Structure 1
Amino acid sequence: MNSLTLRVGLIAALVVAVFAGLTALALERAFRDSATQAVMQRLQGQLYLLMGAVEVDADGDVRLPERLPEARLNLPDSGLYARITGGDGDVLWRSPSSLGEAADTAGEAPFMARMTVTWETGEGNVPLTFTVAEDRTALEAQLRSYRRSLWGWLAALAVLLLAAQSLALYLGLKPLRRVARELRAMERGEQSRLAGGYPLELRALTDNLNALIHAERARQARYRDGLADLAHSLKTPLAVLRGTLGTAGEAAGRQALEQLERMDRIIAYQLQRAGTAGRSPLAAPQAVAPVVRRLADSLAKVYAGRGVECTLEVPEAVRFRGSEGDLMELLGNLMDNAWKFCRRRVRVRAREGDDGGLEVRVEDDGPGIDPAQVPAILARGGRLDEGVPGQGIGMAVVSEIVQAYGGRLQLDRSPEWGGAAWVLRLPG
């Protein structure tokens, strides 16, 4: 029931079903009452016809013609019965339609018209009671036929109504589906904002989304520009101080230089940490393969004297949903460490994860890393080998970025080479 279309469709179907059922019951009840009233009126008319056809002699004997005014009275078991009784209740005449019945069928029929009159003869007055009755057979057959026709037409109308409601629902929710398509296009990097032309009910939503996206991108740009300006402003005075202290006394200069190096590491770490964009559902996906190739080419030049053999297994279709700067920091630090500590070989693999995310594996043929030392490596300023150049903040930055994206960083051992294998998993 998370689908708005399904929810509205089920409610509409329930309303149509209830409406059709109640309408059918109301129409059937009205038809039954109308048919019953028509039967009673018809019996009343047949009662008058019977009274007009009867003849009573002076002895009170009742005579009727062989061909009665109502043909059904002449047919046995036709469902229509008539009788005439005297003042003492004796049956003076019964219609041929009731012949052969074991009981007084006219007395059991549900529809009955009766009238008692005083018939004047030459010898006096004769009390007569005329009764015309009809069973439910004809009425039930008529009701069954009407019910079949009624439910058939109501079912057809219900289907047509549901089809019309489905069409109205499809057209009514079309702008929402358009918003969803455009958001997915923004996630794929195919467009930068929601297009216009939305209905009044959605215009406020789309305009606010566009304003939010624009403000967020402008804020990130200002944030990164400010960080770059801060880095430039701080590094220049630090470089001047470092050069000045180099000419001071050896002990004092060494101590001051150590503190400056420490300040430089802290500033670099905090700037890189603050510059992490983090995961954004509207961020355009970045191709991973070009970034890996650029980093590999740069590291090959930096460590040209080591003759590192690098193998890249990164499909072109693999994407990273986030900032390209964050991707450069992640892969740059992992690959730089692999180049530093390998003996000769480095391999970088990347693939799309099971949840549509990114999985990167960077391994080397170096001595490997003890899992117990991982917390120290990921700590700011943590370094296992002081003889290797670096500030000790690279893996700490990697850890911060991975946490910002809700991912996971894991240390394994290369099954082929025995060296370290960093596995980076970021959600889709």
Structure 2
Amino acid sequence: MIRSLRVRLMLAAALLALLFMLALLPALQKAFSLALQESIEQRLASDVTTLISAARIEHGQLQMPELLPDERFNLPYTGLIGYIFDRQGNLVWRSRATRDRHINYSPRYDGRGNEFARIRQDDGEEFFVYDVEVKLLGGKSAAYSIVALQPVREYQHTLDGLREKLYLGFGAALLALLLLLWGGLTWGLRSLRRLSVELDQVESGARDGLSLEHPRELLRLTGSLNRLLHSEREQRQRYRDSLDDLAHSLKTPLAVLQGVGESMGQGSGEREQARVLQSQIERMSQQIDYQLQRASLRKSGLVRHRVLLLPLLESLCSTLAKVYRDKRVAISLEVPAQAEVPMEQGALLELLGNLLENAYRLCLGQVRVSLNEREGQLLLCIEDDGPGVPADQRERILQRGERLDRQHPGQGIGLAVVKDIIDSYDAQLSLDDSPLGGAAFTLRFKRD
């Protein structure tokens, strides 16, 4: 399937131009043929006029001079063929070019004056014939048919030459037309290219919407896209504001309940109930944080971001090194300096923060982050030398966002956020064994 609009239009225009020329060629050939036959008829009429002007009637007999005014009749190999027949169809004179050939022709003395025709001999050779009936010669009564002939092969040779030149001319014209069409389409589709550039800028976040400096036919499209962008931003903002309001409205009652639970926990008989109450309050708080993170990390459907990876990793690792300074984790960053990841910065920060925090927390002393490109995909791998994840638990963890370490509460929420981010960016997350000895989380991003 041809995906280029310019190539499609070019092929359609080329096909129409070719069909038009193929339809025009027979008409032009017919016109050339008729014009050439008319020219031959005029020439043969001129030859007959030369014979008539040279003929004389003496004593009732036709007399032709030995040398005719037109020298071509006097030479045997010029191909100028002339005959004179009497009323009974008897040949009374012939030009010198006919001495070595026999042309089977019988004149029609039927009172029509003159006739232009095409005859065919038994051997397949064809001739054009111009036959004029004469009743007066030199002012005297006479009845003769004066005939001039020309071989059709000369006409056919000329017509073939014209046809060849016509094909070459049409071919050159078609090529020139295609070049002009390509240039015209390139100029005409320039506005679409400009629109594509603006869309790329919108996707990259360089501009908020499309400009109005486009052809009239595209203004409705650009207006619709701008309204869609504006509506999407407003909807996302309303969604975030509503969740923020909900979170703030719940935080205060939760804080009160937590304080009540702590007060209840001071009594010996109510410690178990207080522990249950504290657990449920903590769970509710985590769910609120989780839903807020999901709302803030969803990418826009029209905006495409790219973030430099190495500075983000260095910042996160520097922070985690302070948090886990007692472990003295050796971090290895095998990432090109200019490498970019097709994600929004906040989403990438949340994703890497959760995965790196897990790696720092579970490792024995070594963490490695690497970025490679393979088969049109970016592979971002985070490895550690910790205990790893049992093979029978990997699918459950990735599918449901279960906790990797049940000794530390709340980590299932982080992995669930990671999974949501990965799904929203059409990426893939896999969990394998690392050559370091622990777990290897691999993120696969499609290259734009």
TM-score scaled by length of structure 1: 0.88
Distance in 1 between residues matched to 2:54 and 2:196, nearest whole Å: 83
Q: Secondary structure at the match of 1:131?
A: strand
Match of 2:303 in 1: 282
Q: Paired residue for 2:408, among 388, 396, 401?
A: 388
Paired positions, count:
424
Distance in 1 between residues matched to 2:147 and 2:298, nearest whole Å: 98
Relative to structure 1, the CA distance from residue 380 to residue 274 in structure 2 (aligned partners, 3 Å threshold; closer, same or farther) is: farther
Q: Would you say the 8 A contact 2:398–2:419 is kept in 1?
A: yes
Distance in 2 between residues matched to 1:31 and 1:424, nearest whole Å: 73
Distance in 2 between residues matched to 1:379 and 1:46, nearest whole Å: 102
Relative to structure 1, the CA distance from residue 292 to residue 235 in structure 2 (aligned partners, 3 Å threshold; closer, same or farther) is: farther
Q: Paired residue for 1:409, among 420, 429, 436?
A: 429
* Range with greater deviation from structure 2 (285-294 or 151-160): 151-160
Task: Please list the CA deviations of residues 277-333 of structure 1 after superposition, one character each: whole Å capped at 9, or x if unmatched.
Answer: 146452221222232222212222222232222222233322232332221221111
Q: Secondary structure at the match of 1:304?
A: coil
The reply to whether residue 15 of structure 1 matches residue 16 of structure 2 is yes
Distance in 1 between residues matched to 2:70 and 2:339, nearest whole Å: 92
Q: Secondary structure at the match of 1:305?
A: coil
Paired residue type of 1:91 = L
Q: CA deviation at 1:344?
A: 1.4
Q: Would you say the 8 A contact 2:333–2:369 is kept in 1?
A: yes
Q: Would you say the 8 A contact 1:381–1:391 is kept in 2?
A: no
The reply to whether residue 315 of structure 1 matches residue 336 of structure 2 is yes
1:13-412 pair list within 5 angstroms: 13-58=14-59, 60-104=60-104, 108=121, 109-117=126-134, 127-248=143-264, 249-278=270-299, 280-352=301-373, 354-355=375-376, 358-378=378-398, 382-412=402-432
Relative to structure 1, the CA distance from residue 307 to residue 105 in structure 2 (aligned partners, 3 Å threshold; closer, same or farther) is: same
Relative to structure 1, the CA distance from residue 157 to residue 391 in structure 2 (aligned partners, 3 Å threshold; closer, same or farther) is: closer
Distance in 2 between residues matched to 1:28 and 1:290, nearest whole Å: 74
Q: Would you say the 8 A contact 1:61–1:92 is kept in 2?
A: no
Gaps of 5+ in 1: none
Task: Please list the CA deviations of residues 161-207 of structure 1 after superposition, one character each: whole Å capped at 9, or x if unmatched.
Answer: 33322221111000111112222334444444333421111122223
Q: Would you say the 8 A contact 2:202–2:302 is kept in 1?
A: no
Q: CA deviation at 1:87?
A: 4.0
Relative to structure 1, the CA distance from residue 385 to residue 377 in structure 2 (aligned partners, 3 Å threshold; closer, same or farther) is: same
Relative to structure 1, the CA distance from residue 282 to residue 262 in structure 2 (aligned partners, 3 Å threshold; closer, same or farther) is: closer
Distance in 1 between residues matched to 2:38 and 2:286, nearest whole Å: 101
Distance in 2 between residues matched to 1:162 and 1:369, nearest whole Å: 64
The reply to whether residue 424 of structure 1 matches residue 440 of structure 2 is no
Relative to structure 1, the CA distance from residue 281 to residue 287 in structure 2 (aligned partners, 3 Å threshold; closer, same or farther) is: farther
Paired residue type of 2:147 = T
TM-score scaled by length of structure 2: 0.84
Distance in 1 between residues matched to 2:98 and 2:159, nearest whole Å: 24
Q: Would you say the 8 A contact 2:52–2:137 is kept in 1?
A: no
Paired residue type of 2:249 = S
Paired residue type of 1:72 = R
Gaps of 5+ in 2: 107-118, 265-269
Task: Please list the CA deviations of residues 371-406 of structure 1 after superposition, one character each: whole Å capped at 9, or x if unmatched.
Answer: 211244346673354323435221122122212222
Relative to structure 1, the CA distance from residue 32 to residue 69 in structure 2 (aligned partners, 3 Å threshold; closer, same or farther) is: farther
Distance in 2 between residues matched to 1:410 and 1:344, nearest whole Å: 23
Q: Secondary structure at the match of 2:412?
A: coil
Q: CA deviation at 1:243?
A: 1.7
Q: CA deviation at 1:145?
A: 4.3
Distance in 1 between residues matched to 2:209 and 2:24, nearest whole Å: 50
Match of 2:7 in 1: 6
Q: Secondary structure at the match of 2:34?
A: helix
Q: Secondary structure at the match of 1:410?
A: strand
* Range with greater deviation from structure 2 (241-250 or 291-300): 291-300
Q: Secondary structure at the match of 2:331?
A: strand
Paired residue type of 2:28 = L
Distance in 2 between residues matched to 1:67 and 1:373, nearest whole Å: 119
Q: Secondary structure at the match of 1:110?
A: strand
Distance in 1 between residues matched to 2:310 and 2:168, nearest whole Å: 64
Identity of aligned residues (%): 37
* Range with greater deviation from structure 2 (325-334 or 82-91): 82-91
Paired residue type of 2:425 = Y
Relative to structure 1, the CA distance from residue 140 to residue 381 in structure 2 (aligned partners, 3 Å threshold; closer, same or farther) is: closer
Relative to structure 1, the CA distance from residue 381 to residue 408 in structure 2 (aligned partners, 3 Å threshold; closer, same or farther) is: closer
Distance in 2 between residues matched to 1:315 and 1:71, nearest whole Å: 94
* Range with greater deviation from structure 2 (220-229 or 167-176): 220-229
Distance in 2 between residues matched to 1:237 and 1:422, nearest whole Å: 38
Paired residue type of 2:445 = L
